[in-house]
Chains A and B, each alone.
Chain A
Amino acid sequence: MLSIKNLHANVEGKEILKGINLEIKAGEVHAIMGPNGSGKSTLANVLTGNKSYEVTGGEVVFDGKDLLDLDTETRAREGMFLAFQYPVEIPGISNATFLKTALNELRKYKSLPELTPREFLERIKEKANILGLDETLISRYVNVGFSGGEKKRNEIFQMLMLEPKFVLLDETDSGLDIDALRIVSDGVNVYKNEKNAFLVITHYQRLLNYIHPDFVHVLYKGKIIKSGGKELALELEDKGYDWIKTEEVEIDKA
Chain B
Amino acid sequence: MTGKEFYIDNFKIFQEKLNGESKSFLNEIRKDALKSLSELEFPTNKVEDWKYTNVTPILKQNFVPAVNASVPKITEKEIQSYLFQDFDCHLLVFINGLYSEELSIVGQLPKGAVAGSLRNLTKENPELLSKYLNKISITDNAFNALNTAYALDGLVVVVPDGIIIEKPIQVLYLNTNDKENVLSLPRNLVVAGKNSQVSIVANYRGAGEKIYFSNIITEVFADENSIVDLCKIQNETDDSFHIEKVQAIQKKNSVFNHYNITFGGSITRNDINSRLDGENIETHYYGLYMVNGKQHVDNHTFVDHAKPNCMSNEVYKGILDDSSRGVFNGKIIVRRDAQKTNAYQQNETILLSNKATIDTKPQLEIFADDVKCSHGATVGHLDETSEFYIRSRGVPQELAKSMLIRAFANDVIETVKIDPLKEQINHMIFEHLHRVEIKTE
Contact = CB atoms under 8 A, between A and B. Distances in A.
Nearest to A99: B393
Contact of A91 (B395, B400, B411): B411
Nearest to A90: B407
Nearest to A74: B394
B232 interface: no
B439 interface: yes
Given A52-B384, A88-B385, A92-B413, A162 B407 contact: no
Nearest to B409: A92
Interface in A83-100: 84, 87-88, 90-94, 96-98
A77 B438 contact: no
Contact of A105 (B386, B395, B441): B395
B384 A51 contact: yes
B323 to A, nearest CB: 26
A205 interface: no
B391 A72 contact: yes
Given A91-B411, A92-B440, A97-B439, A105 B392 contact: no
Contacts of A88: 383, 385-386, 389-390
A50 interface: yes
- What class of interface size applies to chain A in its complex with B? 20 to 34
Interface string A32-75: 00000000000001001111100000000000000000011101
Contacts of A191: none
A162 B384 CA distance: 22
Contact of A93 (B391, B396, B407, B411): B407
A90 B438 contact: no
B393 A90 contact: no
A102 interface: yes
Contacts of B396: 73, 105
B404 interface: yes
B383 to A, nearest CB: 8
Contact of A92 (B388, B391, B392, B414): B414
Nearest to B405: A92
B410 interface: yes
Q: Which secondary structure characterizes the binding site on chain B?
A: helix
A97 B394 contact: no
A93 B387 CA distance: 13
Contacts of A45: 388
A90 B386 contact: yes
Contacts of A90: 386, 390, 403-404, 407
B44 interface: no
A97 B440 contact: yes
A69 B411 CA distance: 38
A147 interface: no
A77 B384 CA distance: 20
A102 B409 contact: no
A106 B394 contact: yes
Given A72-B391, A73-B394, A109-B394, A97 B441 contact: yes
B406 interface: yes
Interface in B427-441: 438-441
A117 to B, nearest CB: 10
A211 interface: no
B103 interface: no
A4 B397 CA distance: 26
A76 interface: yes
Contacts of A184: none
Given A87-B389, A88-B385, A93 B438 contact: yes
A91 B410 contact: yes
A13 to B, nearest CB: 17
B69 interface: no
Contacts of B393: 76, 81, 98, 102, 158, 162
A109 B394 CA distance: 9
Contacts of A105: 394-396, 399
B440 A102 contact: no
A216 to B, nearest CB: 25
A93 B385 contact: no
Contacts of B414: 91-92
B440 A77 contact: no
B395 A50 contact: no
B407 A73 contact: no
A90 B400 CA distance: 11
A92 B413 CA distance: 9
Contacts of A97: 438-441
Contact of B403 (A81, A82, A93): A93
A209 interface: no
Interface in A80-134: 80-82, 84, 87-88, 90-94, 96-98, 101-102, 105-106, 109
A97 B392 CA distance: 16
A101 B397 CA distance: 12
Contact of A76 (B383, B391, B399, B441): B391
Nearest to B410: A92
B439 to A, nearest CB: 7
A48 B392 contact: yes
Contact of B395 (A75, A87, A102): A102
29 contacts: A45-B388, A49-B391, A49-B392, A71-B391, A73-B392, A73-B394, A73-B396, A76-B392, A81-B393, A82-B392, A88-B386, A90-B390, A90-B404, A90-B407, A91-B407, A91-B410, A91-B411, A92-B407, A92-B410, A93-B403, A93-B406, A93-B407, A94-B441, A97-B439, A98-B393, A102-B393, A158-B393, A162-B393, A162-B394
Ranked nearest first, the 4 interchain pairs of A and B with the lowest CB-CB distance are: A92-B410, A76-B394, A102-B393, A88-B389
Interface of A: 45, 48-52, 71-73, 75-77, 80-82, 84, 87-88, 90-94, 96-98, 101-102, 105-106, 109, 141, 158, 162
Given A82-B392, A93-B407, 17 more contacts: A48-B392, A49-B392, A52-B384, A72-B388, A72-B391, A73-B395, A88-B383, A88-B390, A91-B414, A92-B410, A93-B403, A93-B406, A97-B440, A102-B393, A105-B396, A105-B399, A162-B393
